[in-house]
């Protein structure tokens, strides 16, 4: 579930990123959804070079883990430095 894609702001290609080591905060949601906890992971990557256009990017965003061990939704944004 840590394998995510993020769209390069410079060229629009989707870049594969592994966010496992880039999670800065994880919060358990208060929402009760019947299949255990929903966890919101906040992701920050300081420096990522786009393999397509070479732009230097920083990545911020979040993804929702639900149920445990599965990635439900991802919302990662890139910004050209």
3-state DSSP assignment of residue 51: coil
Among candidate residues 20, 15, 16, 14, the one with its CA nearest the CA of residue 1: 20
Per rule CB under 5 A, count of chain residues that contact Zn ion:
7
Q: Give me the least distance between CB of 47 and Zn ion, in Å please.
A: 14
- For the chain, the straight-line distance linking the first and the last C-alpha, in angstroms and rounded, comes to 27
Token pair, residue 33, equals: 């959804």
Provide Rg for the chain, Cα atoms.
Answer: 14
Instruction: With contacts defined by CB under 5 A, name the span among 8-16, 21-29, 34-42, 70-78 that binds Zn ion.
Output: 8-16
Q: Give me the least distance between CB of 54 and Zn ion, in Å please.
A: 7
Q: Give me the least distance between CB of 1 and Zn ion, in Å please.
A: 24
Catalog residues that contact Zn ion under the rule CB under 5 A. 8, 10-11, 50, 52-53, 55
């Amino acid at each position: 579930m840590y394998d995510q894609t993020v769209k390069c702001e410079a060229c629009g290609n989707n870049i594969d990123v592994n966010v496992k080591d880039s999670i800065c905060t994880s919060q358990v949601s208060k929402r009760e959804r019947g299949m255990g906890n929903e966890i919101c992971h906040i992701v920050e990557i300081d420096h990522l070079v786009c393999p397509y256009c070479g732009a230097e990017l920083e990545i911020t965003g979040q993804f929702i883990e639900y149920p445990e061990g599965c990635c439900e939704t991802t919302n990662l944004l890139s910004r050209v430095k």
